[in-house]
Chain A
Amino acid sequence: MTQISERAAAPATAPNLPAVPSAAQPAATTQSAATAVTFAKALNTALADAMEADSSVLMFGEDVGPLGGVFRITDGLTARFGPGRCFDTPLAEAGIMGMAVGMAMNGMRPVVEMQFDAFAYPAFEQVVSHVAKLPNRTKGRVLLPMVIRIPYAGGIGGVEHHCDSSESYYAHTPGLTVLAPATVRDAYLMLREAIALPDPVVFLEPKKLYWSKEVVDLGELRRTFEEGSAPRTIGSAVVARSGTDATLIAYGPSVPTAMAAAAAASEEGRSLEVIDVRSLVPFDDETVCASVRRTGRAVVIAETPGFASVAAEIVARVQERCFHSLAAPVRRVTGFDIPYPAPKLEHHFLPSVDRILDTVDELQWEDGQ
């Protein structure tokens, strides 16, 4: 699995130090407890920490109880917090979503899991007509502090309905905050921030990154988040790799691909910057455009079909704001405009390092600069 070591707290080759039990000593006085942590474990820890910190945080969905979720993101939560705090529901996504709306109306902070991207569609009316609109409908009198966790996107050899990149549906709906972390560190911090937010969040978890690892100190992340010193992630894109010749703009599952492309390009003498958008809504025009104005070239990379997508929106925003800095048209590398392919064909569909580099090669380098 791809590792994104550039932003890790320590190099991936650092020795894994044993974690010091946080209850025994305050984290600040211990030596670094940085260790190789999976994306899934970071999410699981974020959920546990949020539930520990606030008794109104609830977790429910399909198979999230004793099983711990089909991806084990809720592992151990029912045992630790009891069946009133983390529980299985009947198998009905609109039911899960609608009940979460009512619970959020009445003092709770529900976190719901849609088992797979395409299985969230039965809940679509609840999301679009109520989750997104109820706060506006009531002039902010009713807030919906709820998080909709969706294991999403492909690259795992899944059968049909298990690999959709559904972000554009949600990003198109005013009222929703839409997040897609790409690193272990962000998985923890962004989920904590999402749960604490008074607005509803669609939290997209790239399935293919669940078992990716980074060396991070979860205790330190917890401490910085809870004391408010962690940098805010919502509405903020981040420069994942600095470069000077062109900007690759990616989010969620396409970030590691963009990082690999930038690494490959550097061997060929081309310096690519990678922006991890991570917060699709609100969108950080400032960070994205500052990068493109520096480099003069941009490629947006996303797994989703490109037509009428978040990637299309990013291209439009960059063209509108950076036109006079651009040396070439802003390009996209996205999935094709087809239903997500069967496992043996998905590698043709997904943005690849080669396809990204081919597109970068076409950015009118002969015209100057």
Chain B
Amino acid sequence: MTIPTNSDSTGTEGGVGKQLLPSPVPVQLIDQHGEARADARYALPDPQALLTGYARLISGRRINDQANALVRQGRLAVYPSSHGQEACQVSAALVLQSQDWLFPTYRDTVAVITRGVDPLEVFTLLRGDWHSGYDPYELHVAPQATPLATQLLHAVGVAHAAKLRGEDTVVLALCGDGATSEGDFHEALNFAAVFHVPVVFFVQNNEYAISVPLKNQSVAPSLAHKAIGYGMPGERVDGNDLAALLSVLGAAVDSARSGGGPALIEAHTYRMQAHTNADDATRYRSAEDVDKWIPKDPISRLRTYLRGLSLLDDAVEEQFAADAEALAASIRAGLNADVEVDPQELFAHVYTQKTAQLREQADLLRDELSREAVQS
């Protein structure tokens, strides 16, 4: 359906004559049996790109497993796992160019690492050394957002600034299904559409917001359908199909870069593990519900597909597994080492120059600690 526009001045470029409604079923290019599926609008990515992506899936799964283990060992305070959502994580990082920005949430650790951020700096947050550990400007990755949907507006601002300067930056902003109920989700999409800025909003619909299922969040036909209310295109994609994700997200990023404005992409996936290690998922969903998603796993289908093309064999798989294991080992080693935290740094970054009051308080703490040191 083609949507007429009700505006004729600013913000019309995106809405006029575009197909805004998502496809009736999520776009799928490789099904759960590893079979390629033709799609009229989206082409299968280059097999080499899929092979690269597959290696990242293996690493991503390993990062999730390793982080869970480190929580059990007390090295991480908590870990919101993206087990089962690795295809979303990997594709979000791989579709971006170096000048682009990624706005991740707390569940998007694998995406941040796939973008190239040092895993130990990423885990600063969850290990409890500081609220964020990496330099957002180095690889254009915003701090992982803890409040829901607030970062989507920051993404709009980053894109808006880039647009005003005539840069070709695209911003990919991540959130989950629960966050689509927040007011800031609405305001971010509306601002992005009105100002026609290059943001791709990428919702990982994993069906649960902690314990609350999607049906209690929204009765829209799909979350992607919400896009039409803002005059931007929406699209639905199989969130466990890396090929479809790369193709759909890639098209949205390309469109945004070439002045096509924002888009809303909903990936249908599933949170295979509890919200975090502190959560007990058996209180709100059954093992049978979770088991239904095991055959839809993002890794197994792509493995089948790539082996069918003879791009993947035992030797390559062993290599990918070894790479993932080396990454896990470096994370383990890094997190098993104790890091000194500096109490004086508590006062160092509140303002660019410490206020007189903060100088007093820093001195108070320094004095307390020096007296403790003398006593011990």
Which A residues fall within an 8 A CB radius of B?
58, 84, 89-90, 92, 94-95, 97-108, 110, 122, 125-126, 129-130, 133-143, 174-175, 177, 198-199, 235, 281-283, 285-286
Contacts and interface: CB of A to CB of B under 8 A. Distances in A.
A101 B191 CA distance: 14
A141 B160 CA distance: 20
Given A98-B157, A106-B158, 7 more contacts: A90-B191, A104-B157, A105-B136, A130-B154, A138-B143, A138-B349, A139-B349
A283 B359 CA distance: 13
- By Cβ-Cβ distance, the 3 closest A-B pairs, closest first, are A102-B157, A98-B153, A95-B187
A49 to B, nearest CB: 20
A102 B161 contact: yes
B161 A98 contact: no
A99 B153 CA distance: 5
A126 B152 CA distance: 11
Interface stretch (B127-135, B328-336, B362-370): B127-135
Interface string B144-181: 00010010111111111110110000000000000000
A250 B159 CA distance: 42
A142 B183 CA distance: 25
A126 B153 contact: yes
Contacts of A130: 147, 150, 154
Interface of B: 130-132, 135-137, 142-143, 147, 150, 152-162, 164-165, 183-184, 187-188, 190-191, 194, 345, 348-352, 355-357
Nearest to B169: A106
B66 to A, nearest CB: 25
B153 A103 contact: no
B191 A92 contact: yes
A272 to B, nearest CB: 26
Contacts, number: 136
A92 B350 contact: no
Tell me the interface secondary structure of chain B in the complex.
helix
A101 B154 contact: yes
Contacts of A95: 153, 156, 184, 187-188, 190-191
Contacts of A282: 351, 355-357
Contacts of B165: 107
Contacts of A129: 147, 150
15 contacts: A94-B153, A99-B157, A99-B160, A102-B160, A105-B142, A129-B150, A135-B349, A135-B350, A135-B352, A137-B130, A137-B131, A139-B132, A140-B349, A199-B351, A282-B351
B194 A125 contact: no
A139 B342 CA distance: 12
Contacts of B142: 105
Nearest to A126: B150
A177 to B, nearest CB: 7
Contacts of B156: 95, 98-99, 102
A105 B153 contact: no
Given A129-B147, A137-B131, A199-B352, A142 B345 contact: no
